[in-house]
Structure 1
Amino acid sequence: MNPHNYSANSSGQKPWKIAIANRLFRLIEGIEVPLLQWVPFPFGSWLRTLAYRSFVAKLGKKVTIETGVEFVGACWMKVGNEVFMSRDVRLRTIGRRNRIEIGDRVSFDRGVDIKAHGSQGPITIGDRTYIGPYTCLSGCQLTIGKDCLIASHSSIYSNNHVFSDFHRNINEQGNSYSGIVIEDNCWLGTGVKVLDGVKIGTGSVIGAGAVVTKEIPPYSIAVGMPAKVISRREAEVEEAVKSGRI
């Protein structure tokens, strides 16, 4: 039984079969992850990669999984080739129809935490992107392009708490989701915060500690709280215009 048959392309399956399969994969996941996540590197990485194929929807070739990596709801995850997951990385999908899709040669440094929820589109990370230590991604419709650098302690949240009804507690009003897009070849400095509904254009650089609350044009350099564009990467802009990329 392959978990991929019960993930994104499961519309042809009967609901009760999908529910049973999900519970089975969660059971396997709940047994194998605690047993294997602390087996020492490098033998442990090989063993985890081999065993986790039983419950991850897609797990590519030459994937490195260090100690302490945790999967929750991995039957809704696709992991590309040569992906590196450092210690204490945590990947979670909350409920059905939430996905995490990771491209080839993506690197997660220590303590990266990714949680997919909201059921409106996957969290997608493009090829060769690096996510720095203790960075958090949460929500849905969250896309990070190829060749991006996301430095440590950054926060990318494609969701907000609803708080319009002051007669009810905020934690009872649910969430809203608009989505985030970070295009290819962007660099986010340490401690950057990206809020829901934002698009960061290709080749942009966001200074350390910035809070991004609105769209950043391609090849921009932005800093501050809220982030403001202070300059453009002129040579790259001219080349992109000539080639028709922007």
Structure 2
Amino acid sequence: MNREPSLSKLQRLQELLVISLLGGLPTIVLGPKLRNLVYRTIFASIGKQVYIQEGVEFLSASYVEIGNGVFIFKGARLDARGHQNNRIYLGNGVAIERNVNIGRLEDSYIEIGQETFVGPGVCIAGPGDIRIGKRCLIAANSGIYANNHNFADPIEPIKYQGISRKGIVIEDDCWLGHGVAVLDGVTIGEGSVIGAGAVVTKDIPPYSVAVGVPAKVIKSRTSKQLVNTRD
């Protein structure tokens, strides 16, 4: 007999009870401390000195791992539903700003590395794996989308044609400006800067500065010369 569905329902009930009772407590000293204490019963793991503001939503929290010194602000949503192998991992010192949406997973892994900052209104969406490195800066309203809709059949509605999933890697010490979109299958190399509003559709070499739609490398941070982008 398969007990996993009933177990997940029991876990969800526990989450709802804990979050309903404590999730809305005002951000005074007592609110974050109580959340940090009691939320340990619903997460896969949670570190020390974690600060979770009121109004943060968690789904399938038993698949969420949170390191030490993490900040999660109002309106953030972390959704690890979909499969027992799902994981969302927030490394030590990660800051998740207001109204960030992380999730929509299906047997996948989202990792945000140590001391990375995720700005307000950012969307980080599977189901492809997403790995964001250490000390990255992701500005407000950016989107990181590890999936792509299939649309080869002009007769069948796109909604029913399924999706592809290659995954996304953003290496250490990258800065994504306001409103950047990173599409599936892309690797952004270490130390790169992506200009505001750019759409990243192809790999970006390490220590590059890239701008535009689609994003093109205009210079290297290790050289003062501009790159020829006419090709």
Tell me if both proteins adopt one fold, taking TM over 0.5 as the criterion.
Answer: yes
- 1:41 paired to 2:27: yes
Residue 181 of structure 2 is aligned with which of 168, 193, 218? 193
Of the candidates 179, 204, 220, which is equivalent to residue 232 of structure 1?
220
Match of 1:243 in 2: none
Root-mean-square deviation over aligned CA pairs: 1.6
Quote how far apart the aligned CAs of 1:167 are. 2.6
- 5+ residue gaps in structure 1? 1-14, 236-246
| Pick aligned residue for 1:147 from 135, 142, 148 | 135
Other-structure match for 1:242:
none
- State how far apart, in whole Å, the 2-side matches of 1:58 and 1:171 are: 36
Distance 1:20 1:62 in 2: 33
- Aligned residue type for 1:196: D
Local SS of the residue matching 2:41: coil
Shift of 1:18: 4.0
- Between Structure 1 and Structure 2, the one with more helix by share is 1
Residue of structure 1 aligned with 2:40, choices 43, 53, 69:
53
Q: Residue deviations 1:165-187, cap 9 Å, x none?
A: 22322112222101000000000
Contact 1:99 1:116 (C-alpha < 8 Å) held by counterparts: no
- Tell me by how many angstroms 1:31 deviates: 1.6
Number of aligned residues:
221
Counterpart in the other structure of 2:226: none
Displacement over 4 Å in runs of 4+: none
Question: In the alignment, does 2:194 pair up with 1:216?
Answer: no
SS of residue in 2 equivalent to 1:52: helix
Identity, % of aligned positions: 50
Give the SS at the match of 1:234.
coil
Structure 2: how far apart are the matches of 1:35 and 1:200?
41
Partner residue of 2:97?
Answer: 109
Deviates further, 62-71 or 171-180: 171-180
Matched to 1:22, the amino acid is S
Q: Mind listing any 5+ residue stretches in structure 2 that lack a counterpart?
A: 224-231
Distance 1:19 1:79 in 2: 25
TM-score, normalization by structure 1: 0.86
Q: Which residue of 2 aligns with 1:163?
A: 151
In the alignment, which of 120, 123, 135 is matched to residue 110 of structure 2? 123
> CA separation in 1, counterparts of 2:185 and 2:140?
22
Q: Which amino acid aligns with 1:75?
A: S
Query: How much has 1:17 moved relative to structure 2?
Result: 4.5
